[in-house]
Amino acid sequence: MIKAIAIDDEPVALKVIENHAARIPYLSLQASFTNAFDALSHLNANKVDLVFLDINMPDISGLEFLKSLTTKPNVIFTTAYSEYAVESYELEAADYLLKPFDFGRFLKAVNKVADLTSEESKDHLFLKSGYEHIRIDKARLRYIKGDGNYVGFYTVDQKILCRMKMSEAEELLPNDTFLKVHRSYVVNRTEITKVEKHQVHLKDEIIPISQTYYERLISQL
């Protein structure tokens, strides 16, 4: 079940979303807000998988609202203005609905989110990199490396750079297989060939270990 909320300063627009959402059995629209700051209080107190978010609102734009969130749920932007499409995808939006949108287009957007969220619990991930969603098998993922607002996912044959926080990337990985060895590194334990005091060997890669995680790593091997 996808838990969602909708934010739009126009009650009529919210009603459209509510009516469409009621027709989708795996979508639960838990609340609707005409004020973004009321919605923020809800987001801080509740787990939300998806936000339908208007862009043009009087107090704060949907774009600025999304930028302000420390933990970002999936977002489907809803707007009457097409000129914000590029920026919305730069902010990792799942989709962009141009008003007025019909039920078919709404369903397509929701299914995109459903596909993304369901894949995360399986043996592979879909990672958003730029305008692409790239599938990787968890078993082929060797390690991840955080760098500011980006995380690099390193498989046996490629690197995928995603705009997300390290903490968000860690939530995608099973902690019985992927072990944190440094504030910027999480490694696949099946790739480890040797552990030294300040570094861990992953076959042909050497990853630093911080003192904070050394003893924990040894106990988990």
Q: What is the DSSP string of 76-132?
A: EEEES-GGGHHHHHHTT-SEEEESS--HHHHHHHHHHHHHHHHHTTTTEEEEEETTE
Question: Do 97 and 180 share a domain, yes or no?
Answer: no
The answer, yes or no, to whether residue 122 has pLDDT greater than 70, is no
Report the largest interatomic distance among the alpha carbons of the chain, rounded to a whole angstrom: 62
Q: What's the CATH number where 161 sits?
A: 2.40.50.1020
- Could you tell me if 48 and 132 lie in one domain? no
What's the pLDDT tens digit per position in 191-202? 999 999 899 999
More confident residue, 168 or 189: 189
What confidence score (pLDDT) does residue 120 get? 52
Average pLDDT over residues 62-76: 90
Confidence of residue 107 (pLDDT cuts 50, 70, 90): very high
Query: Same domain, yes or no, for 138 and 216?
Result: yes
Q: What is the mean pLDDT of residues 106-117?
A: 87
In the listed set 119, 150, 185, which residue is the last one of a domain according to the structure?
119
- Tell me the angle at which helices 11-21 and 103-119 cross, rounded to the nearest 10 degrees: 60
Last residue of a domain, one of 119, 140, 171: 119
pLDDT at position 129, please? 83
Task: Residue 96: give the domain boundaries.
Answer: 2-119
First to last CA, the chain: 35
pTM: 0.58
- Min mean pLDDT across 28-37, 50-59, 135-144, 169-178 is at 169-178
pLDDT band at residue 89 under the 50/70/90 scheme: confident
**Is residue 20's pLDDT more than 90?**
yes
Same domain as 112, residue 11:
yes
For residues 83 and 141, state if they share a domain: no
- Domain count for the chain, please give it: 2
Q: Which residues of 72-103 are buried (b: 16+ CB within 10 A; e: fewer)?
A: bbbbbbbbeeeebeeebbeebbbbbbeeebee
Last residue of a domain, one of 119, 134, 152: 119
Q: Give the chain as a DSSP string.
A: -EEEEEE-S-HHHHHHHHHHHTT-TTEEEEEEESSHHHHHHHHHHS--SEEEEES--SSS-HHHHHHH-SS--EEEEEES-GGGHHHHHHTT-SEEEESS--HHHHHHHHHHHHHHHHHTTTTEEEEEETTEEEEEEGGGEEEEEEETTEEEEEESS-EEEEES-HHHHHTTS-TTTEEEEETTEEEEGGG--EE-SSEEEETTEEEE--HHHHHHHHHH-
**In this predicted structure, what is the pLDDT of residue 90?**
78
Q: How many CB atoms lie within 10 A of CB 54?
A: 23
Are residues 92 and 34 part of one domain? yes
